[in-house]
Chains A and B, each alone.
Chain A
Amino acid sequence: MMIRRHSRSAIFMHWFNAVCWLFLLFSGFALLVGDMQPIGQWWRNLWVALFGERGLLVAHLLVGSVWVAVYAIYILTSCRREVLPFLREILHFKPASDLVWCFRKGLWLVLGPKVMLKMGVDPKLPPQGFYNAGQRMVAVLAVAASIGLAITGVAMGYFSGNVSWALGENALLWCIVVHFACAGVMAIFLPVHIYMAALAPGEGPALRSMFTGFVPQSHAQHHNPLWFASLKAAGALGGETQEQHSNVAQKG
């Protein structure tokens, strides 16, 4: 039995975001020079060889503008249906339980449950809701960084240069710093999200759900017991399943 976990629009926005983020992060770092370059001069040379000096800045601006525009439309059209519930979900922190989850999950992956038992640490994870503690933390960081990147990016791209509404030099200087700080924080946390979502053991069904929208009931019961319990309590488990969904599609 499969349960719907992600809507089609949420899946599209996730992958659209992923592609844009990776391009913007990689091309953005390639724009930096000297001591400000966090990867190395070879990285800049590689991107400049692909896009050219001016082309790199233009491509970064273009993709960034499309990213901001599509997100603005998504937020405006899906605010009540998807954006607000998502924000409510990721901001629902239980600090003590969340820290225990992160600590135990980390040890489980790095040392394994046998070593944990020898150390006297219980490998059992605290029950999680729709998102686990790690996903919620990264999501909050991603939302905050996205807001920072979008505002400062638009400021640098469209409120600078030879326009009458150009910002002052000091404001633009701070925009660069905030833009880099947001990108830097996400450069550190993004690989963690990619590993935990795509490569970590037991996450296969969750990764597939980011394509199909559906997750097996047993997986939800095991990984997201609080979400599963709330679905059960609301009587939503008999709702839209993948089987029913494909039947409807066939009839259509």
Chain B
Amino acid sequence: MARYIMLINSEHCMDCKACVVACQQRNGVPYGFHRNWVHETKSQASACGFKFQPGACMHCEDPSCVAACPTGATWKARDGVVHIDRSRCIGCGSCIEACPYHARFRHPLTGTADKCDYCMGSTPGETPACVAVCPMHCRTFGDLDDPSSAVAKIAATHKLVHIVPKGSGARPTLAYLETTTPASLPAASTVSHPVEAIRPFSKVVTWVGGAVLAALAGTFVRQLVKPSEREDEEIAAQAKKTEAASARQEEDKA
């Protein structure tokens, strides 16, 4: 099974944003929205006074967006790619809120969540648009488990750096080579309110519902073995007997 990842050499990026435009064009992303980005950070170390950091969905291990989706419309495939099934997405925005990289948005035409899928939805099997158009060859995409692939060769010879928003606990698969600026992103939450409330409530339904079913099953068996109605009849018969006995006693006394 393949294990797809993207590697980015952000030190080569010149902020031309060809990757952003190519992605919009290939994936039909409307004007004003984007699946990928280039972060700009002021830096004295750079000749132009800025450092650039291209990015996109990080296709995280154990993604918070997947955990936040109540309908299973977004999932992580075995090849490492995080997908969205538009037919099952109700556009609630839970995954958008849960992504600490803000890599998702609600597509204004489909009304569903949208994000980078390595162009697998629009052009399956082809090199992602952002990788194909980059004039500086910043981005490399491929199967990490295939030793002959470019990503596997680069990963073997470079230190891989991951950027993680503070406090998010995210485990991105998209990696930068050697160094990148910024080294980390501002703190971000992976909790999606109020959908998060479903989790504890679901546990309550499981346990209380289970206890109710067990109690009903126990009561059903009890009524089969020892019906309360028969006990009622026995109590009534006993009461009648006692009544008759006391009446007889009174008669005897009389």
Contacts of B193 in A (CB 8 A): 173
- In contact, B235 and A201 (Cβ under 8 angstroms): no
Binds B, one of A10-18, A131-139, A185-193, A223-231: A185-193
Size range of the interface on A?
35 or more
The residue of chain B having its C-beta at the shortest distance from the C-beta of A183 within the complex is B205
Query: Which positions 176-230 of chain B face chain A at CB distance < 8 Å?
Result: 192-195, 197-199, 201-206, 208-209, 212-213, 215-216, 218-220, 222-223, 226-229
Interface positions, chain A 100-127, Cβ under 8 Å from B, are 108-110, 112-114, 117, 123
For residue B72, CB closer than 8 A to chain A, the reply is yes
Whether A109 lies near B219 (C-beta < 8 A) is yes
Kindly state the separation between the CA atoms of A44 and B72 in the bound complex, as whole angstroms: 10
Contacting residue for B212 out of A32, A176, A192, CB 8 A: A192
> Is A172 touching B72 in the complex (CB atoms < 8 A)?
no
Find out whether the CB atom of B93 lies under 8 angstroms from the CB atom of A170: yes
* Residues of the A chain whose Cβ atoms lie less than 8 Å from the Cβ of B194: 173-174, 177
Determine if B254 is an interface residue (Cβ-Cβ < 8 Å). no
How many residues of chain B are within 8 Å of chain A by beta carbon? 53
Asked whether B206 lies within 8 Å of A39 as measured between CB atoms, the reply is yes
- Inter-chain residue pair count (beta carbon < 8 A): 145
How far is it, in angstroms, between the C-alpha of A200 and the C-alpha of B220 when the chains are bound? 7
Q: Which residue of A is nearest B228, CB measured?
A: A112
A223 CB to nearest chain B CB (Å): 13
Quick one: given A54-B87, A109-B228, are A161 and B67 in contact (CB under 8 Å)?
no
Q: Return chain B residues, CB-CB under 8 Å to A161.
A: 90-91, 110-112
Contact, CB under 8 Å: A113 / B232? yes
Whether A191 contacts B71 by the Cβ 8 Å rule is no
Nearest-Cβ distance from residue A240 to partner chain B, whole angstroms: 30
Contact A57 B88 (CB under 8 A): yes
B220–A169 CB distance below 8 A: no
Chain A residue contacts of B88, Cβ below 8 A: 53-54, 57
Per DSSP, are chain B's interface residues mostly helix, strand or loop, or mixed? Answer: helix
- In Å, the complex CA distance between A31 and B91 comes to 15
A205 to chain B, nearest CB (A): 13
Instruction: Indicate if the CB atoms of A201 and B106 lie closer than 8 Å.
Output: no
Sample (23) of A-B pairs whose CB atoms are under 8 Å apart: A32-B71, A32-B72, A33-B69, A35-B67, A54-B88, A109-B222, A110-B218, A110-B222, A112-B226, A123-B232, A123-B235, A156-B92, A160-B111, A161-B111, A161-B112, A172-B90, A172-B91, A172-B92, A173-B93, A176-B70, A176-B90, A180-B198, A199-B223
Residues of B within 8 A of A (CB): 66-67, 69-72, 85, 87-88, 90-94, 96-97, 106, 109-112, 192-195, 197-199, 201-206, 208-209, 212-213, 215-216, 218-220, 222-223, 226-229, 231-232, 234-235
Given contacts A112-B226, A172-B92, A184-B201, 19 further A-B contacts (CB under 8 A): A35-B67, A36-B195, A36-B198, A38-B209, A53-B85, A53-B87, A53-B88, A54-B85, A57-B88, A110-B222, A156-B92, A166-B111, A169-B91, A169-B96, A169-B97, A173-B92, A173-B94, A191-B212, A201-B228
